[in-house]
Structures are given as structure tokens and as C-alpha cells.
Structure 1
Amino acid sequence: MKQVVIIGAGIIGGAIAYEMAKSGWRVTVVDKAPEAGYGSTSNSSAVIRINYSVMETCAMALEGWTYWKDWAGYVDLPADRPIAAYKETGTLVIYRGEGQAMQKITEIMDQIGGVYERLPPEGIHHYLPKADLHSYGPAKLMDHPDFGEPNDELVGGAVFFPQAGYVNDPKLAAQNLQWAAEREGVTFRFRTTVEGFEVVNGHVSGVRLANGELLAADVVVNAGGPWSAGLNRMAGVTGDMTITTRPNRQEVAYIPGPVNMDYRHDGVVVADLDSEFYARPDPVGICLGSTDPACDSHEWVDDPDAVDTRFTDQWTTIVMRGAMRLPELHIPGQASGLVALYDTSDDWLPIYDKTSLPGFYMACGTSGNQFKMAPVVGKLMTHLITHTEEGHDHDADPLRFTLEKTGRQINLATYSRKRHINAESSHSVMG
């Protein structure tokens, strides 16, 4: 039985561990944190949606939605174990202008079997009572003289996708995968720091730990989230990568919802591509984040362990953009929410691939939008690793992967480390 060491016990690493163990691999997961899902996974907004800008990602998201709909069945844990809950609300995507981008996405939905409903501007009020229907785009920074000033025209309309919602506890979802993987024989080692890699005859052979121990491995998978770029440099595998990844600092607001509605129970997931924010229900009321408009600069972080967790004007900007659309939003006097990191790639699409070091694989660059894909990524990476280790040249002849639930086949070259920047991507958390 071949041994695989997976670095990272977040939602992606846990799913890969679970699926590889079910396929007959002996799996060890190492993570520097004290628990599964303790890093960027626990800070995820955990939105489940099927609308993306790239065909393959839409297909994977629709497939992923089927697993979240029956999460308890997927992890198959004893009744006394707590299970993360998926709350289906649907996603309302608001757009400005004539909605050409949404036309492309709805055409993809028609091809893959995704469900949607087009709405005129006034249809937004069905989901967001008293929403301001004026267009505010393109987005501006707070120091712009026209910040918060509406345009003369209304938004173009919206598209509602019912196959969407959010997971109530992303960290618990990662722990669910840990428990399911342990049932399959996986070993998890926490508070364990990787210091290097052993290579024998040009193939990875082990993982060196900070305590001096060497974990033998036929395969190593880098699922380190914001720490993945450092691990790739440590392994010396960045030389042939045309797509790179970097930790990207983000702020998210958790505040009371609009005073005119019970957003905790009646709200939907919103992606406002005019005011440039996203929202989802939360026990506090509403969770607000940025859709990364062009005017916003990105804050890249060299050391993920040294990120500044204090709130800045980014928090205020996000909340004020939300208040443009939701004028009855209750804005507290003190910032609350979280500061966390995306593992962002150059085109905001993930890298699921082999590397220039035989036996070393990466599942990284998840860019804040791959939480919903986790069960599919586990199966995809198992397929990729198994066939590559059996001798298939994935670089020369990219593998294809058939999605089990929907039957659609996707080309894994889409997620290659050696791809060109994908022009179809939104280059944002919206993928």
C-alpha cells in the first residue's frame, strides 16, 4: 500500500485524505494548527453556489452542491457526532448594464443543467425588500468624491440561482472530514511543522518535520492554503509554474442585518456585481464581503503567520457598499467580523496538478472560492495522483475527469500550474 502525506487539514486537505484513503492509499495528514479546519477554512464564508465564470468550475460547483445537499450521507458519521449543516437559500446575483457577463453564465447553466431565473430590477424586491435599485457602479473607493452617489439609471436586473446557500460551520465541516477519514484509517498529526522534503532518485520520498522526524512518503500533496506558496518554494517546484499563488489579506464584516427584515432566517446569498459586495445570512444578522472590484488594491502578505488582524478602511468600505443596496442596514459603531487570508492565484482559479518534482502534487490557489468544491477536489486529486503515479504524463496529455453525480467530463488542464491566465475568469473571488 502506497503512503501519501497531505500537508494541510483544512476542507481541501481533509477531502483529499478521505477520498485517497477510500481508494486504498495509506494516508497521513500533517498540519501546524491544533485542529482540522483551524486555518483559512474556519474563516471561510462557506458560500455554496454554482455560478462561476468558467465552464469547468461551474460544472464542479454543481457537482459539489449535490454533496453538500447530503453532507451527512457523504461523511457517514455516527449519530452522536455533530454534523455541519448546509442551509439552502439560493443566490441572487445583481448586475448593472445589460448583463453580458450573466448571459455567458446562464448559457453555461443551460449546458450543465443549472437552474436559474432572470429578474427585472423590481424583481430584486422579492428577495431584498426596500433594496435601492439604483446603479452605483463602477465601484469607487471611499475617498472618491462620488462614492455612495447613485447613477441616473437602475441596475440591469438580477439572476436567481436556487441551487445555493451556505454551510453554517465551515470548521466543523473540516472536522467531519477528519472523522470520516480516520474511520478509513487516516492518521492526523496536528501542531506539526514541515521543514523540508527528502528526494531519492529524483522522486519525493519523505517529509522532514521540525522535530527532526522523517515521514516516508511515495506521494506528498500540498494543500497548505495560504502557506502553500512557501511549501512550493521549499520543495523547489516553482520553476515551471506559469501560474503562481500568494496569500491575500481580506476583511469580512459580521453585523446586524437590515432592520426591515429578518436576514438571519429570510435572507439569501447575494452577489452584487454593481455595488461590489457579497452577503449571506449569519447568526449575527448578515455577513458582508468584497467581490474584489478593480478599484480595490490587493494586500499581499509575505508571512501568513504574521498577518495584521486589525480592521482597516477595507471593512468600512465593504459595509458602506452593502448599505448602498440595503439602505436599512444597521451599521454598528464598532467593527466586527474577521480578517483572514485567501490563497490567491494569478487568475483566481485553483491549481490542482502535479509538479516538476515527481511525487509532489499541489491543490492550492483556491482564492476564497473553492470551499464548495471540496468533495469533488478530493475525488479529482485522487484520480490525478493515481493515474500520474501509474505513469500517465499529465503535462503532455492532460487527464479528463468524470463527475460522478452529474456525469459531465471536465478537462483538468483548466487547473494546470502551466496554464496561461484564463481570460474567462472574473479575476475575483467570484471565480
Structure 2
Amino acid sequence: MTETLTADAVVVGSGVIGSAVALELARGGRSVLVLDKAGGPGHGSTSASSAVIRFMYSTFEGVATAWESKFCWERWAEHLGLPGFEPLADPPALSRFHRTGMLHLDVPAVPREHSIDLLRAAGVPFEELDADELVARFPHLDGGAYWPNKPVSDDAFWEETPARLGAVHTPDAGFMDDPRLAADNLAYAARLHGARTAYRAEVTGVERRGEVWHLALADGRRVEAAVVVNAAGPWSGAFNAMAGVGEEFTVGVRPLRQEVHQVKQPAGYSGEESYGPGVFDLDLGTYMRPGPAQTWVIGGTEPECDGFEWLDDPDAVDAHVSNGRYEAQVTRAARRLPELRVPNRPSGVVGVYDVADDWTPIYDRTDAPGFYVAMGTSGNSFKNAPLAGCFLAAIVDAVEGGSDHDLDPVTFVGEHTGLKIDLSAYSRKRPINADSTCTVLG
């Protein structure tokens, strides 16, 4: 006899976003079932995240979401609601927030005045550094302005420049030290609130009959729920297509292969008891942050000259770090940090971004009743996962309660900051964000 699993809401995907959605839906009193074809929470793209917690985006809503989320990461156990369940029979290890600050180096593609206007509007502390102040405060950095991005194989990449750049420093930025563990923490908290999880549970079919969504799993089980949330990461577009959902979307999504590399920090960059700042460097096409044990994590900001690795099928991704991508990204970092050594053997991880056309997430309902999406997270949304869960719960509550989120968008008010966030900014029907850098910066 076929086993049928039932719930008020089923969340497809148990990465950091899906796990956050499950927690908030369960907190709201719904019975929740989470499905993931991997063996546990955070085993997909989340595990390859650099887990940077920063606040600079191209929209007020992006900045406000990141700033409100920061307080959740700082007070992680409290956000998860663990103190209310103490004593825990099996207390989990928790991912931890490390405050480092972040330097956003000047670049023509991101006018400084626009950025600081958004930071100021959201109440994010920042300081502006001119070229002299930048290198005086952070002497490990080369202060040259090298825009536009150039291939590292091009002699022009190494040419000296008389131009210099400044930066915007946000001292409250940082990183979470284990992104997969953060997803696991959210899944653990969701289970404390009654959510159930089914791993190695691949969805092979989905259709709506009457008021109920019916999902078929590869192992023969069936799932029934009135509400479905698509949080399937780079598989989200394919899952929408499987469900016959998405014709009304004005924003598309596409899987993009990416790599994050790890080397050793330059000597003296971080102190014995404190970290040096992360660096967001669109000028050279890279971002970087310190890590435990003097590690240095390096990602790319999608320089067009390095090419893009778009995928038709995320399952077909080459999971091995490539020499070409490693050399490009780490060499860019070394141009900014002349003392950084570039080992011959690459070290790092491969992930797949779920990239929206404007690199801004889609948190929304759909035209299919009961079908919701948390998708298009574009490699820049780990930091916003706590709020993404809250956003979806608020949208589900409103729409299932009879509101029209398209005509009367939900406004979310941050518990910690009091900021009002208009969730139409994350609409599936929004105009393309013309201010987006169309990079991981958002």
C-alpha cells in the first residue's frame, strides 16, 4: 500500500532558506513537512556558501533585510527559540557569528552616494574612507583603482595605475562560521516546533487536485498539502515547471556554477583575538573574508571577462574545483593583497547559484493557489535567510487568509530594527531592478 504523508504545508528544499521557511511556518502553528532529495539539511548550495553577513545592496529593501537579519545571526540561539525549550535532551552545536567589518571598495559600477543613502536610510552604521585613509587603516591592501575588470592572463591586469580608490566600511558585518550547520540549526528548531523532515525524498511529480497539492516521490510515497513552498535552490525553476507554475513571472531564474576558494591569510592581517575585515572588491572582481585558523575565503563577483558557467541541469555540475577558476579568483585577490600567497594546488568548494535575472530573490505567492516560492536567491541571500523565512510565513498567512498580496502587498516590520520592508520588492511580477549590479552583490 502506498504511504501518504500529509501536512498543512510542504516545503521543498532544506537548505538555509527552506529550513528557515519551515521554522517560521511551524512557529505559526502549521503542520509542516520538509522534503529534500539530499541526505540532510544544507547539503546543497548552502554548504558551499561563504556565509558572509553584509549589508550593502542596490535596494532599500535589500539593505533593510540584511540589517534586520544581522541581529538574528548575532542572537542565534534566541532566534531559533532554543531557550524556550531548555533543558534540551540533545542540544545541538550552533553555527556562530563573527564580527569582522566589511570594506566595500569604490567602483564606478556602484556609485558610493547611492550606497550610503541606502545604508543611512536603514540605520546601518558606516564610515567613509578616502584613498589615504584606506591604506593607512588597512596597510595590507593595495589601494589602486583597476576598473574595468580584466582577465588575469592579460598583461593589462598587471599594469600599475595612478588612480586610487577609497571605501565604505561597515563595522558590524561578519560571517557565520559554518553555513551547513546554520541550516541544520534551523531544521532542528523547526522540528522542535513540530515540523517533520523527509530526506532522500526526491519529488518526481506535482499536481493540484481540488484544494490539495499532490506530490509524488521517487521512492513511491505520496505527499498531500494545501500549501507548497518551492525553496529548491538551483532546482527551483525546474520544480516550478514540473508544477506548471510561473507563466506570469516577469523575472526568470537560471542555475550558475560558482566556486569559492580557500587559502591562508596574509601574515598579520588578523589579530590573535580579532579578525581583519572582509573586502568586497568589484574593482578587481572578487570578494574575500577571513576565517578561523588564519584561513582566507575568496569568491568572485562575476567579472564578464572570466565567463559564466550556466547550467541546464544542476545535478550535472562538475563538483571539482577547476584550476582556471581558482587561478583567476585567487590571483585577483592577490592583486589587492600583495602579501597573499597563491598555492599551486587549488582548495575550495563548488556550488550552484539560483540566479534571478536581476540577482534579487523572489519571495512570493504564484498564480497557482497555495503554491509559493522562495527562489532566485542569487548567491547573495544566505545572510538574509532568517528574514526569508519570516517573509514567506507572512505572505502565506496573508494570502491563505484571503488577502491579495499582488494588489495589497504585505509589509514586514523588523522586530529588531523596526524597519518597514515592502515585500513587493521581492515580487515575481516586479520590474527588473535597474540598479542591480547583476553580480553577487545584488
When the two structures are superposed, what TM-score results if normalisation uses the length of structure 2? 0.93
Deviation at 1:209, TM superposition (A): 1.1
Secondary structure of the 2:156 match is coil
Deviation at 1:423, TM superposition (A): 0.5
Q: Is residue 274 from structure 1 mapped to residue 274 from structure 2 by the alignment? A: no
Secondary structure of the 2:197 match is strand
| 2:118 paired residue number | 108
Cα-to-partner distance string for 1:163-202 (whole Å, 9 max, x where unaligned): 210000011111111111111010011010001113123x
Tell me the distance in 1 between the aligned counterparts of 2:121 and 2:76. 26
* Contact map agreement 1:254 1:282 (CA 8 A) in 2: no
| 2:78 paired residue number | 73
Q: Is residue 20 from structure 1 mapped to residue 25 from structure 2 by the alignment? A: yes
Identify if the C-alpha distance between structure 1 residues 144 and 366 changes in structure 2 by more than 3 Å, giving closer, same or farther. Answer: same
* Contact map agreement 1:129 1:261 (CA 8 A) in 2: no
Tell me the distance in 2 between the aligned counterparts of 1:127 and 1:303. 45
Deviation at 1:127, TM superposition (A): 5.3
Deviation at 1:238, TM superposition (A): 2.4
* Contact map agreement 2:361 2:378 (CA 8 A) in 1: yes
For residue 257 of structure 1, the aligned residue among 262, 265, 279 is 265
Identify if the C-alpha distance between structure 1 residues 318 and 348 changes in structure 2 by more than 3 Å, giving closer, same or farther. Answer: same
| 2:172 paired residue number | 163
For residue 231 of structure 2, the aligned residue among 223, 237, 241 is 223
Q: Is residue 9 from structure 1 mapped to residue 17 from structure 2 by the alignment? A: no
| Aligned amino acid, residue 115 of structure 1 | P
* Contact map agreement 1:83 1:172 (CA 8 A) in 2: yes
CA RMSD of aligned residues (A): 1.8
For residue 192 of structure 1, the aligned residue among 198, 201, 204 is 201
Secondary structure of the 1:160 match is strand
- State percent identity of aligned pairs: 42
| 2:192 paired residue number | 183
Q: Is residue 355 from structure 1 mapped to residue 360 from structure 2 by the alignment? A: no
| 1:41 paired residue number | 46
Cα-to-partner distance string for 1:9-54 (whole Å, 9 max, x where unaligned): 1111111111111111000001001011111111100000111111
Deviation at 1:356, TM superposition (A): 2.0
For residue 241 of structure 1, the aligned residue among 249, 256, 278 is 249
Tell me the distance in 2 between the aligned counterparts of 1:130 and 1:43. 27
* Contact map agreement 2:212 2:224 (CA 8 A) in 1: no
Secondary structure of the 2:63 match is helix
Deviation at 1:148, TM superposition (A): 2.3
* Contact map agreement 1:34 1:190 (CA 8 A) in 2: yes
Aligned residues: 428
| 2:296 paired residue number | 286
Secondary structure of the 1:147 match is helix
* Contact map agreement 2:17 2:389 (CA 8 A) in 1: yes
Q: Which moved more, 1:397-406 or 1:161-170?
A: 397-406
| 1:403 paired residue number | 414
Deviation at 1:126, TM superposition (A): 5.2
Deviation at 1:273, TM superposition (A): 2.3
Secondary structure of the 1:217 match is strand
| Aligned amino acid, residue 410 of structure 2 | L
Secondary structure of the 1:258 match is coil
Q: Is residue 206 from structure 1 mapped to residue 214 from structure 2 by the alignment? A: yes
Secondary structure of the 1:138 match is coil
Deviation at 1:296, TM superposition (A): 3.5
* Contact map agreement 2:257 2:351 (CA 8 A) in 1: yes
| Aligned amino acid, residue 301 of structure 2 | T
Deviation at 1:302, TM superposition (A): 1.1
Tell me the distance in 2 between the aligned counterparts of 1:65 and 1:127. 25
* Contact map agreement 1:42 1:170 (CA 8 A) in 2: yes
Secondary structure of the 2:191 match is helix
Tell me the distance in 2 between the aligned counterparts of 1:96 and 1:211. 51
Deviation at 1:74, TM superposition (A): 1.3
Structure 1 regions of 5+ residues with no counterpart?
none
Deviation at 1:337, TM superposition (A): 0.6
| Aligned amino acid, residue 167 of structure 1 | M
Tell me the distance in 2 between the aligned counterparts of 1:294 and 1:22. 43
| 2:69 paired residue number | 64
Structure 2 regions of 5+ residues with no counterpart?
1-5, 83-87
Q: Which moved more, 1:263-272 or 1:390-399?
A: 263-272
* Contact map agreement 2:103 2:169 (CA 8 A) in 1: yes
Deviation at 1:263, TM superposition (A): 7.5
